[in-house]
Amino acid sequence: MRTVLWLAGIAVIAFGGYYLVTHYSSDVETPMPEQKEKTIIEVFPIEHASGILRWNDTAIYFDPVAAEAFVGKPPAHIILVTDIHGDHLSPSTLAALMGTTTTLIVPEAVKYQLPADLAAQAKVLANGASISEQGLTITAVPMYNLPDAENKDRHVKGRGNGYVIEKSGTRVYIAGDTAGTPEMRSMPNIYIAFVPMNMPYTMSVEEAADAVLEFKPRIVYPYHYRSPDGLADVAKFKQLVNAGDPSINVMLGAWYPAE
């Protein structure tokens, strides 16, 4: 039996001993896959490209750029940085958030942007490489603009990383700044995906929905959707995705609390 509790903007979904907790998100209710051991996955939208994924007791920060936004949040066990741009990388924030046992995982291009002490602590992953941390397998995957697009030089293939985090067959995909690449569209068995949509930097709402309908995650969070023209129409994204496949749960998190 599934149990759903609502507490101060927090959704708790329980199914078969496996839980998804979404903080300050929408009212979508989604069971997680059945597992022999109890698992809790929590999603904390922070701002734009920044968020926290807590897998049981392991807190994974992705692209933290404002240290004050993480005050009161679970301390970071793992920090993932996707790319060199300022909405993904802040060396001063990384320095403030790094604990004595925090693992920092970055692309090589990011390591070159770090001060010597942080660079010495960073673990570099190239596209396709994997690392095991805290009982999780983390794999770097390509994130880039397509070669024939007008924005092709903003995010070149091989410089940045998306990440797939996996444990016990459950896979979470953090896409980073990317188009709907062939690698994304063929991504297998993704349970939760974080997908960007802000032109001219990543994808349009329509391209993002089309890509999601091809690789079919069980749950998708639109994130990274602010552009020079304002916020992308994530309600339209949800409509397009659910028109194509109503079984995909589109979660609308509060990525822009001040807007």
* Domain positions in the chain: 3-250
The per-residue pLDDT for 37 is 57
pTM of whole model > 0.75?
Answer: yes
Alpha-carbon gap, residue 115 to 90, rounded angstroms: 11
pLDDT at 25 over 70: no
Tokens for 87? Answer: 């909405």
Query: Beta partners for 243?
Result: none
pLDDT tens digits, 78-132: 999 999 998 899 999 999 999 999 999 999 999 999 999 999 999 999 999 999 9
Residue with tokens 């309908």: 213
Q: Sorting pLDDT into bands at 50, 70 and 90, what band is 12?
A: very low
Cα-trace Rg, the chain: 17
B/e letters for 104-137, b = 16+ CB within 10 Å, e = fewer, are: bbbbebbbeebeeebbebbebbebeeeeeebebe
Give the pLDDT confidence score for residue 1 in this predicted structure: 26
pLDDT for 14 equals: 42
**Could you give phi then psi for residue 195, rounded to 5 degrees?**
-125, 130
Q: What's the fold here for domain 3-250?
A: Metallo-beta-lactamase; Chain A (3.60.15)
Sign of the alpha-carbon torsion through 178, 184, 189, 195: positive
pLDDT tens profile 151-188: 666 778 989 999 999 998 899 999 999 999 999 999 99
